[in-house]
Amino acid sequence: MNLIKSVLIVTGAGSGIGRQVALQGARDGAAVIASDINAATLEETKQMGDKEGLQIEVYTLDVADKKAVSDFAEAIIPQLKGQKLLLVNNAGVGLFSGNFYNTSQDDFEWLININLWGVIRMTKAFYPYFIKQNEGHIVNLSSVFGLGGFANQTAYCTAKFGVRGFTEALRMELIGTNIYTTCVHPGGIKTNIMRSATPKGPELTEAMHLKAIATFDKVAMTTPEKAARLILNAVKRKKQRLVIGNDGRAIDSITRLFPVAYSKIFKRKMDKAFKV
Ligand SMILES: NC(=O)c1ccc[n+]([C@@H]2O[C@H](COP(=O)([O-])OP(=O)(O)OC[C@H]3O[C@@H](n4cnc5c(N)ncnc54)[C@H](O)[C@@H]3O)[C@@H](O)[C@H]2O)c1
């Protein structure tokens, strides 16, 4: 899909990958509608775009809020006027809660409501427009944690496997149409995701969180700029599955080659990085 004369809607555009998708999408010629729950960081994205004369409209939007998402779609769809739509469901959070035993049901539900329901809700809200136009592209951010299940990440993996299943099911339903999906599985991307994940478990301390942030910063190989470029290139080439980074490709291969043994292969690494 060519981005010129298209509209690009991106969620979670106040930071990391989403901010870069907004800026680079606007540079590529799309009219960008950027949203985030955080109005202040979203405004920073807008100002970065303004400095380059880019067209970026901003909306504060919480993808976990059912009514806010449907109000947002109701406000935006009439403005689209038949233009090609690229929807990038990027907003997401991390949860630093330790293992499943120490993760409360409320925290689990909180994460699913953003990382999985946020993607489904946004897609559902804009789907009638895609179907009516019979063109466009939906990009959903899963993760390498949607390729394998990892210790101390039960809620996150559940959401990201869900995003993958949802996107791949749509992919099959949309065969023969002009509507495409891309499921994105990034490895570590140097963003604020671990920094923003507040310690939630009963035995967690700030020091443990700081250690996890330091580990994440060390192992996250790819910049958000590069991740966004790869995502937009995948859209241009109608690539429907995108794994990002050498770390991402290694996890992709190992989980496929050793669909059971990968748990033991990765356990020591995961315990070191995230055990509390
Ligand atoms: N950084 C990584 O290593 C990595 C790896 C795999 C997948 N991902 C996924 O990529 C996506 C982007 O993450 P990132 O690394 O850029 O993180 P980030 O923390 O830098 O940015 C996430 C953005 O989402 C926003 N957000 C959070 N909750 C929201 C809500 N309820 N409604 C709307 N916006 C909300 C935040 O305010 C923030 O601006 C996420 O879905 C994440 O799970 C990231």
The pick from 33, 65, 189, 223 for probing ligand 1's pocket by mutation, whose C-beta has the most ligand atoms within 8 angstroms, reads 189
- pLDDT of 242 strictly over 70: yes
Average pLDDT over residues 135-150: 98
Question: How many whole angstroms from 55 Cα to the centroid of ligand 1?
Answer: 22
Amino acid 276: pLDDT? 52
Query: Is any atom of ligand 1 closer than 6 Å to the C-beta of 92?
Result: yes
- pLDDT of 141 strictly over 60: yes
How confident is the prediction for the chain on average, in pLDDT? 95
- pLDDT of 251 strictly over 90: yes
Amino acid 274: pLDDT? 59
Least confidently predicted of 22-36, 148-162, 203-217: 203-217
Average pLDDT over residues 215-220: 91
CATH number of 6-274: 3.40.50.720
Query: Is any atom of ligand 1 closer than 6 Å to the C-beta of 93?
Result: yes
Question: How many whole angstroms from 44 Cα to the centroid of ligand 1?
Answer: 16
Average pLDDT over residues 106-110: 97
The pick from 9, 10, 11, 17 for probing ligand 1's pocket by mutation, whose C-beta has the most ligand atoms within 8 angstroms, reads 17
pTM over 0.95: yes
In this prediction, residue 204 has a pLDDT band, given cuts at 50, 70 and 90, of confident
Amino acid 270: pLDDT? 77
In angstroms, the CA 159 to CA 146 distance is 8
Query: Is any atom of ligand 1 closer than 6 Å to the C-beta of 60?
Result: no
Query: Is any atom of ligand 1 closer than 6 Å to the C-beta of 186?
Result: yes
Catalytic residue among 59, 101, 127, 156: 156
Amino acid 269: pLDDT? 79
- pLDDT of 273 strictly over 80: no
Q: What one-letter code names the amino acid at 167?
A: T
Average pLDDT over residues 146-165: 97
Question: How many whole angstroms from 11 Cα to the centroid of ligand 1?
Answer: 9
- Give the sign of the dihedral formed by CA 109, CA 137, CA 129, CA 175: negative
Amino acid 166: pLDDT? 99
The yes-or-no answer on residue 59 being catalytic is: no
- pLDDT of 271 strictly over 80: no
Percent of the chain past pLDDT 90, that is, above it, reads: 88
Query: Is any atom of ligand 1 closer than 6 Å to the C-beta of 251?
Result: no
Query: Is any atom of ligand 1 closer than 6 Å to the C-beta of 14?
Result: yes
Q: Which residue has the higher pLDDT, 204 or 133?
A: 133
In angstroms, the CA 254 to CA 262 distance is 6
